[in-house]
Structure 1
Amino acid sequence: MKSHSSALLAEVRSFRQNHPDVRYVDLIALDIPGHFYGKRYPVEMLEKVAAGSPLKLPQNAVLLGVQGGLFKIGDYCFNDGDPDANRRLVPGTLKPVSWESQPLGQMLITSDGTEAPIEFEPREVLAKVLERLHHKGIHPVVAFELEFYLFDKKLAGGLPQFARDPLSDDADDQPNLHIERLSRFSEVLDDMAQTAKDQGIDITVITAELGPGQFEINFGHLDDGLRAADWAALFSRSTRGVALKHGYRASFMAKPYLQYPGSGMHVHVSLYDSAGNNLLAAHQQQPLRHAVAGCLELLPHCMPIFSPNHNAFRRLGGTVNAATRASWGFEDRDACVRIPDSDPRNLRIEHRLASADANPYLVLAAILAGLEHGLETQREPFAPLNEDRNSGADFPLEMLDAVRAMRHQPVLRDKLGAEFVDVYCENKRQDHLAFQQEIHAREYRWFL
């Protein structure tokens, strides 16, 4: 513990030396809907925390709804006295914030690794899954890919406007995959990539996607699943900030336009043993088939995680490469679980179902739980799409049905934690009901 504190203290002191103009640091963590919450600490107080002083925040901050409100979930929020819970600093995440008007720093905090971790904290849920896999000699290697849209900074009547092409000042309203779009928006995209690298994130490929103003960023493969999810969470935050600085609005909203493709979170996962052998490639790739079967079996019960809000369900089946059934295939982007062409060393799955605004910790935890379940049960998957284009299993396409499918699934309750499943499902149910407690203009047009 002393060496751990010493390393943190050295990190804070080095940061202060390299960034003497920074007076405050945002200590941040991801809540259930995937928003950052936390506190802004004077940097000298951060040094005390790094040296061992307690760091406490309300436990129920994790339970906030999409709009920041608290829901009654069991005894939480209104019958528990709103207690504090210990957090700790995540080593290696203290970085400068370059998109704010004043010099600032940020650092991730978490309850995992403390004496009493919060069972429903997203990062803790993933940490438990990874710890269990490591005890079994299974070591995941993970890479995220995130799609997002650029909009004009100003909304028009609450609705997004197409991003302005900086060369012509016209709206970038034509869907295309042209490489020229990367050149036209290079100033903001380069700043996004450099800012991410300054946060310690390994940015690799940048792609202009099919939707107008839509892009995809790929991250490097990591043998630390927690860090991989950290990268996805931190990238979302920095990208929104950089976009505003350049006069745009960046959004990871799943389906901002009905007529154009939605934005997804694609996750590549391979599994290795302690000697570095690819477990999925053994025995003529039979473990790969088992892992796929486990993923597909649990997928219909994980929909509140993969599609965490009303808008995310709009993305499914609407346009290109968005499935409406649990499916798999080799080199097939219509499948939920795609097997990219690769050599045995790099054999992996690509899970393509989650929306870009899903919580990356929970998405990865659900995927790994499915892979683990498949390796345990050793069942065969149904036919891949390459053999049968109608192959697949139905999954819920509406939030309340999805919550019902998740709440009592015994494998998920075991692998993700029964307390987490109960809390998460109730949070999603309450958020969905709150969303419906507003009459939209269309209702008046149709029924008034």
Structure 2
Amino acid sequence: MDAVCSDLVAEVRAFRQRFPDVRYVDLISLDIPGHFYGKRYPIEMLEKVAAGSALKLPQNCVLLGTQGGLFKIGDYCFNDGDPDAPRRLVPGTLKIVDWEKQPLGQMLITSSGTEKPIVFEPREVLAQVLERLAGKGIFPVVAFELEFYLFDRQLRDGLPQFARDPLTDDADDQPNMHIERLSRFAPVLDEMVETARAQGIDTTVITAELGPGQFEINFGHLDDGLRAADWAALFCRSTRGVALKHNYRASFMAKPYLQHPGSGMHVHVSLYDEAGNNLLAANDQQPLRHAVAGCLELLPHCMPIFAPNHNALRRLSGTVNVATRASWGFEDRDACLRVPESDARNLRIEHRLAGADANPYLVLAAILVGLEQGLETGRQPIAPLNEDRSSGINFPLEMLEAVQSMQNNAQLREGLGAEFVNVYCENKRQDHLAFMQDINAREYRWYL
């Protein structure tokens, strides 16, 4: 048994000793739309997998559409025999699931690092980008921030209802950022935070956001980009579970209300060399400007990643603190790329465009490819919004146009992998077309 297997076996045994009532563990991984798929294993079988027994799942699980269906993408799904692909356990991710009625465990799995990685698996895509950057002496430090809404657990005519204020039992329908909202929703918010910490997630600041029943959670900065994205993915899963326990529905939908702000995924990224020096701060911050230029140039071609569905594109409609063009600025929340005020050690870029329902592995991978290419080309960015409020680069706001722009971009095909770009774009194209195959009441009202 090699060292990795020994450590995994020790992790499983320690978990079993700490949680003797747990009989099953969910082995989970994120698919292209950002949903977890996997299998529920008896815990005694998990120990065998940790010791080196084969762990395989269908390769095409990664290709599922938003509604779980399979699309014909090249030879995948319908002409490949639906083959299994090897997965491995991700060390350090075996944690308790305490929002279910029965004790349960969960553990991340991935094809990354196996003998045959799935090139379009989101975690593998990010792993390849990080490996390439490390080979160039570039080491990102990353922190995610996620916004989400709480709704009443019951929908009405299929529509979400405002969360009930626990103190007054009235609908929390007033947009505000008042600290009292944190107190009134403290029972569910506190459990969300404690549950996230039980998953190993370093949750920090909690904010009552502008929308009714809207909140934001910040995570600590990490020098492990894969783990940072793991945190964002796992937080969404645990938060939904905790909300249901409290008779709420937690949603990371990007734009649940047209009249209220959408929910974003903000990503803070700084870049360091092997000695721990902040690369962005060198030479009077010229690398910062080059990195910004690369990100802005690539951003219009990354829109299917940052806004992965029809609703996510609705968020980019000119509401407060959401950019409608690729832009940047110092301490400017109207910009796609905000440079927060900080000392040279902590100089970073905050990428603010992605919706909260975007895939965190792919969002971070796309950001890093933009930063990487910016550092290599050394071009100067457009004027910051601080100097010119009209500065910006247009990006597509319609899915099929966005997909075409992504699929044809040579930089993305090189940076994220050509096969991934082909698969991802076809998945988004077919998902969008499937979504449009519905006649709603408004269409009858307008055209009948």
For the pair 1:368 / 2:406, whether they are aligned, the reply is no
TM-score (norm 2): 1.00
Distance 1:108 1:22 in 2: 17
| Cα shift readout 1:156-203 (whole Å, capped 9, x = no counterpart) | 000000000000000000000000000000000000000000000000
Quote the residue 1:441 is aligned against: 441
Q: Cα distance, 1:445 vs. partner? A: 1.3
Residue by residue, what CA displacement relative to the aligned partner does 1:363-400 show, whole Å, maximum 9, x if unpaired? 00000000000000000001000000000100000100
What aligned pairs does 1:22-37 form with structure 2 within 5 A after superposition? 22-37=22-37
Partner of 1:345 in structure 2?
345
Aligned to 1:423: 423
The CA deviation string for residues 37-81 of structure 1, in whole angstroms up to 9 with x for no partner, is 000000000000000000000000000000000000000000000
- Give the Cα–Cα distance (whole angstroms) in 1 for the partners of residues 134 and 317 of structure 2: 36
Q: Which residue is 2:183 aligned to?
A: 183
Deviation at 1:318, TM superposition (A): 3.4
Task: State how far apart, in whole Å, the 2-side matches of 1:247 and 1:187 are.
Answer: 12
Give the corresponding residue for 2:75: 75
How far apart, CA to CA, are the structure 2 residues paired with 1:215 and 1:247?
A: 17
Any residues of structure 2 matched to 1:163-312 within 5 Å, and which? Answer: 163-312=163-312
For residues 58 and 438 of structure 1, the distance between their equivalents in structure 2, rounded to whole angstroms, comes to 30
Task: State the distance in 1 between where 2:62 and 2:265 align.
Answer: 22
Report the CA distance between 1:277 and its aligned residue.
Answer: 0.2
CA distance in 2, matches of 1:404, 1:390: 26
Corresponding residue of 1:144: 144
Q: Which amino acid aligns with 1:81?
A: G
| Alignment partners' CA distance in 1, 2:54 and 2:320 | 49
How does the TM-score come out when normalised to structure 1? 1.00
1:248, 1:132 → 2: CA distance?
42
Q: C-alpha distance in 2, partners of 1:59/1:344?
A: 44
Cα drift, residue 8 of structure 1: 0.3
Take 1:319 and 1:174, find their aligned partners in 2: how far apart are those partners?
A: 17
Find the aligned partners of 1:222 and 1:355 in 2 and give their Cα distance. Answer: 21
| Code of the aligned partner of 1:415 | G
Given the alignment of the two structures, is residue 3 of structure 1 paired with residue 7 of structure 2, yes or no? no
Equivalent pairs: percent with the same residue? 83
Q: CA deviation at 1:441?
A: 1.1
1:317 positional shift: 2.8
Q: CA deviation at 1:23?
A: 0.2
Question: Which residue identity lines up with residue 16 of structure 1 in the other structure?
Answer: R
**Secondary structure of 2:65's aligned partner:** coil
1:444 positional shift: 1.1
> 1:206 aligns to what SS in structure 2?
strand
CA–CA distance in structure 2, aligned partners of residues 437 and 299 of structure 1: 29
Q: Deviations over 1:18-41 (max 9, x none)?
A: 000000000000000000000000
Aligned counterpart, 2:98: 98
Partner Cα separation in structure 2 for residue 37 and residue 174 of structure 1: 36
Alignment of structure 1 residues 18-167 onto 2, 5 Å: 18-167=18-167
Take 1:268 and 1:426, find their aligned partners in 2: how far apart are those partners? 29
Find the aligned partners of 1:199 and 1:227 in 2 and give their Cα distance: 12
Give the equivalent residue in structure 2 for 1:323: 323
Q: What SS does structure 2 have at the residue aligned with 1:421? A: helix
The answer to whether the Cα contact below 8 Å between 1:261 and 1:318 also exists between their aligned partners in 2 is no
CA distance in 2, matches of 1:320, 1:15: 45
Distance of 1:200 and 1:350 partners within structure 2:
23
Amino acid in the other structure paired with 1:369 = V
How far does the alpha carbon of each residue in 1:240-292 deviate from its partner, in whole angstroms, 9 at most, with x for none? Answer: 00000000000000000000000000000000000000000000000000000
Distance in 2 of aligned mates of 1:5 and 1:137: 29
Give distance in 1, aligned partners of 2:112 and 2:136. 20
RMSD of aligned C-alpha atoms? Answer: 0.5
Match of 1:238, SS state, is helix
Look up the SS of the partner of 1:109 in the other structure: strand
Q: Give the Cα separation in 2 of the matches to 1:229 and 1:100.
A: 24
Aligned length: 448
2:436 aligned partner, one-letter code: Q
CA distance in 2, matches of 1:310, 1:11: 41
Three-state SS of the structure 1 residue aligned to 2:141 is: strand
Distance 1:317 1:391 in 2: 17
Moved more, 285-294 or 313-322: 313-322
What are the superposed Cα offsets for residues 206-248 of structure 1, whole Å, 9 maximum, x if unpaired?
0000000000000000000000000000000000000000000
Q: Over residues 322-381 of structure 1, what are the superposed CA-to-partner deviations in whole Å (9 max), with x where a residue is unaligned? A: 111000000000000000000000000000000000000000000000000000000000
Runs of 4+ residues deviating >2 angstroms: none
What whole-Å deviation, never above 9, does each CA across 1:119-169 have from its counterpart, x for those lacking one?
A: 000000000000000011100000000000000000000000000000000
Matched-pair contact (CA < 8 Å) for 1:265–1:352: yes
> Which aligned pairs between 1:379-394 and structure 2 lie closer than 5 A?
379-394=379-394
Structure 1 stretches of 5 or more lacking a match? none
Contact 1:382 1:391 (8 Å CA) reproduced: yes
Q: Which amino acid aligns with 1:152?
A: D
Displacement of 1:446 in angstroms is: 1.3
Residues 58, 84 of structure 1: 8 Å contact kept: yes
Could you tell me whether the CA contact under 8 Å between 1:59 and 1:118 is conserved in 2? yes
Q: State the 1:447 CA deviation.
A: 1.4
- The separation in 2 between residues aligned to 1:68 and 1:50, in whole angstroms, is 29
Task: Measure, in 2, the Cα distance between the counterparts of 1:29 and 1:440.
Answer: 34
Letter in 1 for 2:335: A
